[in-house]
Amino acid sequence: MNIRVPPPRSLSVWEQLLIGTSWRKAHRLIPGVVLALTVMFIADRVSVWAGQVILRAQGLDPAGHVGGISAMTCSILIGLLLANVLEVRPSFRPGLEFSVRKLLRLGIILVGIKLSLVDVLRLGLWGIPVVLVVIASALILTTWFARRLGLGTRLGTLAAASTAICGVTAALAVAPTIDADDREVAYTIANVTLFGMIAMFVYPYLAHFLFAKQAGAAGLFLGTAIHDTSQVMAAALSYSQVFGDEMVMKVATMTKLTRNVFLVGVVPLLAYQAARRQGTERKHINIAKLFPLFVLGFAAMAVVRSLGDAGLGSHSARAFGFWTSDSWKVFTRTVGETISYGALGTAMAGVGLTTSLSTFRVLGLKPLYVGAMSATVVGGVALILAAVIGPRIDAYVSNHAEAKAPVAPMAAPAATVPAVNGATAPAVFEAPAPGTPSAVEPGAEPATGVRPAAAPANANPAAPAHKKKRSSALKRRSKEQSRVHL
Spatial contact of 44 and 348, defined as CB atoms under 8 Å apart:
no
Of the two residues 285 and 460, the one the predictor is more confident about is 285
Residue 55 has pLDDT above 90, yes or no: no
Q: What is the pLDDT of residue 40?
A: 92
- Dihedral of the CA atoms 253, 256, 261, 267 (nearest 10)? -160
pTM of the model: 0.68
Res. 278 pLDDT band, cuts 50 70 90 = low
Q: Report how far residue 202's alpha carbon sits from residue 73's, in angstroms, rounded to the nearest whole number.
A: 11
Average of per-residue pLDDT across 182-200: 83
Angle separating helix axes 152-161 and 182-210, nearest 10 degrees = 40
Residue 358 has pLDDT above 80, yes or no: no
**pLDDT > 70 fraction of the chain, expressed in percent and rounded:** 73
Q: Report how far residue 167's alpha carbon sits from residue 159's, in angstroms, rounded to the nearest whole number.
A: 9
Residue 57 has pLDDT above 80, yes or no: no
Residue 38 is which amino acid? T
Spatial contact of 166 and 229, defined as CB atoms under 8 Å apart:
yes
Average of per-residue pLDDT across 267-278: 76
Among 9-18, 78-87, 278-287, name the most confident range.
78-87
User: At a CB cut-off of 8 Å and minimum separation 6, what does 369 contact?
Assistant: 145, 149
Residue 183 is which amino acid? R
Q: What is the pLDDT of residue 167?
A: 81
Among 95-99, 174-178, 470-474, name the most confident range.
95-99
Q: Report how far residue 178's alpha carbon sits from residue 276's, in angstroms, rounded to the nearest whole number.
A: 11
Spatial contact of 62 and 51, defined as CB atoms under 8 Å apart:
yes
3-class DSSP assignment, residue 424: strand
3-class DSSP assignment, residue 425: strand
Among 14-18, 249-253, 357-361, name the most confident range.
249-253
Q: What is the mean pLDDT of the chain?
A: 76
| CA distance readout (Å), 21 to 7, 12, 30, 91 | 16, 9, 13, 15
Of the two residues 467 and 38, the one the predictor is more confident about is 38
Residue 410 is which amino acid? M
Q: What is the DSSP letter of 457?
A: T
The HSE-up count of residue 66 (CA atoms within 13 Å, CB side) is 12
| CA distance readout (Å), 152 to 163, 184, 231, 346 | 18, 11, 28, 38
Of the two residues 478 and 78, the one the predictor is more confident about is 78
Res. 186 pLDDT band, cuts 50 70 90 = confident
Residue 172 is which amino acid? L
Q: What is the pLDDT of residue 449?
A: 42
Q: What is the pLDDT of residue 382?
A: 92
Average of per-residue pLDDT across 74-98: 88
User: At a CB cut-off of 8 Å and minimum separation 6, what does 169 contact?
Assistant: 228, 229, 260, 263, 292
Residue 145 has pLDDT above 80, yes or no: yes
3-class DSSP assignment, residue 48: helix
- Beta bridge mates, 452: 429
Which range among 116-130, 314-328, 395-409, 455-469 shows the weakest confidence by mean pLDDT? Answer: 455-469
User: At a CB cut-off of 8 Å and minimum separation 6, what does 135 contact?
Assistant: 160, 164, 165, 259, 262, 266
Give the tens place of pLDDT for each residue, 409-442.
444 444 444 444 444 444 444 444 444 444 444 4
Which range among 76-90, 138-152, 357-371, 451-465 shows the weakest confidence by mean pLDDT? Answer: 451-465
Residue 407 has pLDDT above 80, yes or no: no
Q: What is the pLDDT of residue 405?
A: 55
Give the tens place of pLDDT for each residue, 200-252.
889 999 999 999 889 889 999 999 999 888 888 888 888 888 888 888 988 89
Q: What's the length of the chain?
A: 486
Res. 483 pLDDT band, cuts 50 70 90 = very low
Smallest CA-to-CA distance from 131 within 239, 232, 223 is with: 223
Q: Report how far residue 75's alpha carbon sits from residue 346's, in angstroms, rounded to the nearest whole number.
A: 8
Res. 320 pLDDT band, cuts 50 70 90 = confident
- Residue 182 CB: number of other CB atoms within 10 A? 8
- What one-character-per-residue DSSP string does 213-273 give? T-HHHHHHHHHHHS-SHHHHHHHHHHHHHHH--HHHHHHHHHHHHHHHHTHHHHHHHHHHH
Of the two residues 150 and 433, the one the predictor is more confident about is 150
Q: Return the sign of the alpha-carbon dihedral for residues 174, 178, 181, 186.
A: negative
